[in-house]
Amino acid sequence: MIMVHLLMLLVASLLGLFFSYMAITEKDLLKAIAYSAGQGVAYSILFYLLMAPDVVLAYIAIAVGIYSALLVFVVSKTTRYEED
Amino acid sequence: MKRILTILLIFVLIIVGAYIATILDINPPQKKVRPLGRLYLFESYYGKYSAKSPEVVTSIVWDYRGLDTIFEVTVFFLAIMGGLTIFRIEKREKEKIKDLKIKYSGGLTIIVKIVTKLLTVMIVAVSASIALHGHLTPGGGFQGGTALAIAPLLILVAYSREVLEKHGLTYIKAVLIRSVSLLCILVIVFLPFIHGYYLLQNQPFYPVKVFGQLISGSLFFYNFFDYIAIGMGFTAIFLYLSIPEKIYRRIIEVSKG
């Protein structure tokens, strides 16, 4: 049983790594915010598997809702594409 | 293409590393509760110095380590006040932009609007259940408050800022409600001190049960007021951030002359 949990942990953390890598390398800032929200979902699965439901409840609301919305507001005050 | 190759390489390295670590059994997962954990698990409800709450995290956050949380709330309060100070529009500045009319584009489509209407009610209900059952189930004031802040945010995006303000949720009101609930937290902190107990003391000053319902003394009140304070704080920030950039530009232009 603990093996399944560890495998799910690995998959969720790899998913989080993938999303955060894509968010860092993306030039379109709105897409980067969406990737970052995806990373938030992956990490909330991680926290749930690590038996921290209190953290999950705060994290999912902040990482997917508030944080993304704040960044969208900020991007709307600058330009959408990052220049080299 | 180079991006994908890099991430694939990292993935392969991590999976191989995890496989090797599993075979060698480095750092096996903890299966037993440590003595400190056992102490907290026992003392949160049964012990002599208990917080009378079956939820151990809440009893640690608002009782054993209550002072830390109070300072955390203070830091959050100062952060939001700083944000509001940067984005504020003063009265004399408001008069300068009287002639500036910003047309309301009508918001998003009707599908999004109807879904938002349904979702908003559900989000408020879920956030209230997270916060008010914070002393019984996982969750608490901060978690519930962040969930509550999503509801006005959705309305802000799907409709507009004016719709929120027309229905009575202006930023002045949000800041006011927030300050009042923070004051209530302070009152709950100081009440035991006035009656000869310690600051922030929970048991035996506050009642464990009210009308036969377990409220775990002060934990319920802390959760409730923190819920409102956090929710309204985030709402105030969003209301300020959603002020169009045009208005600020106009203010700068007018004041420069």
Tens-place pLDDT, residues B158-212: 888 888 888 888 888 998 999 999 999 999 999 999 998 888 888 788 888 888 8
pLDDT band at A1 (very low <50, low <70, confident <90, very high): low
Locate tokens 């500045």: which residue? B93
List, in sequence order, every beta strand (DSSP E) within chain B.
209-210, 213-214
**A84 lies in a domain?**
no
In a domain, A46, yes or no: yes
Which residues in chain B are contacts of A54 at CB distance < 8 A? 57, 138-140, 143
CB-based contact, B233 to chain A, within 8 Å: no
Residue-range definition of the domain harbouring residue A35:
2-76
Single-letter amino acid code for the residue at B89:
I
- Across the interface, whether the CB atoms of A54 and B18 are under 8 A apart is answered no
Could A10 and B15 be called an inter-chain contact, meaning their C-beta atoms sit closer than 8 Å?
yes
User: Is A54 in the B-facing interface, judged by CB distances under 8 Å?
Assistant: yes
- Answer whether B150 touches A (CB < 8 Å): yes
Helix (H) or strand (E) holding B156: helix B141-158
Amino acid letter at A50? L
Do B11 and A53 make contact, defined as CB atoms within 8 angstroms?
A: no
Distances in Å between the Cα of B20 and the Cα atoms of A50, B25, B99 are: 22, 8, 70
How confident is the model over A26-48, as pLDDT tens digits? Answer: 889 999 999 999 999 999 999 99
pLDDT digits (tens, 9 = 90+) for B142-157: 999 999 999 999 998 8
User: Is B153 near chain A, with CB under 8 Å?
Assistant: yes
DSSP per residue, chain A = -HHHHHHHHHHHHHHHHHHHHHHHH-SBHHHHHHHHHHHHHHHHHHHHHTT-HHHHHHHHIIIIIIHHHHHHHHHHTS-SBPP-
Q: Quick one: pLDDT at residue B160? A: 85
Reduced to 3 states, what is the DSSP secondary structure of residue A51?
Answer: coil
What are the chain A neighbours of B25 within 8 Å (beta carbons)? none
- Give the pLDDT mean for B126-130: 93
Please count the structural domains in chain A.
1
Chain A CB within 8 Å of residue B140 CB = yes
**DSSP state for residue B134 in the 8-state scheme:** T
A21 touches chain B (CB under 8 A): yes
Q: How many CA atoms, within 13 angstroms, populate the side-chain half-sphere of residue B9? A: 6
Tell me if B3 and A58 make a contact (CB, 8 A cut-off): no
Residue A38 to chain B, least CA–CA distance (Å): 16
Give B87: exposed, middle or buried? Use CB within 10 Å, 0-12, 13-18, 19+: middle
B202 phi, psi to nearest 5 deg: -100, -70
CA A48 to CA A12: how far, in whole Å? 11
CA distances from A40 to A33, B78, B138 (A): 11, 26, 19
B52 DSSP assignment: S
| ipTM given for this complex | 0.85
